[in-house]
Amino acid sequence: MADKPLNKIIRETKGNKKYKVFVKDGDKIKTVRFGDASMSNNRDKTKNRESFMARMKPILANVKGNKKLSPVYWSIRSWKLGTKIS
């Protein structure tokens, strides 16, 4: 389990999701997958990023429990400027 990079966004190679991240939940490591693999993402465009954040932040506010286990949390993180995706 030590070979999994925790809290690092990486590209998904199979399935219908674009990205995944390994998150530690207590003593277990969980995989959170997010993003539609068939859609492009324009996170470098300011207006697109602002619109995305305006849509997603209210959804994140409604998430109960550990927000790091939520795909919405990681989706927002991936759209922030300067985020590196492996």
Each residue's pLDDT tens digit, 3-57: 889 999 999 999 999 999 999 999 999 999 999 999 988 889 999 999 999 999 9
- Burial environment of residue 39 by CB neighbours within 10 A (0 to 12, 13 to 18, 19 or more): exposed
Distance CA 20, CA 11 (A): 6
User: Given the structure tokens 């859609």, which residue do they identify?
Assistant: 39
Tell me, what's the pLDDT at 26?
A: 92
Model confidence band, residue 65 (pLDDT cutoffs 50, 70, 90): very high
User: What pTM does this model have?
Assistant: 0.90
- List residues bridging with 43 in a β-sheet: none
Model confidence band, residue 2 (pLDDT cutoffs 50, 70, 90): low
Distance CA 35, CA 32 (A): 10
**What single-letter amino acid sits at 43?**
R
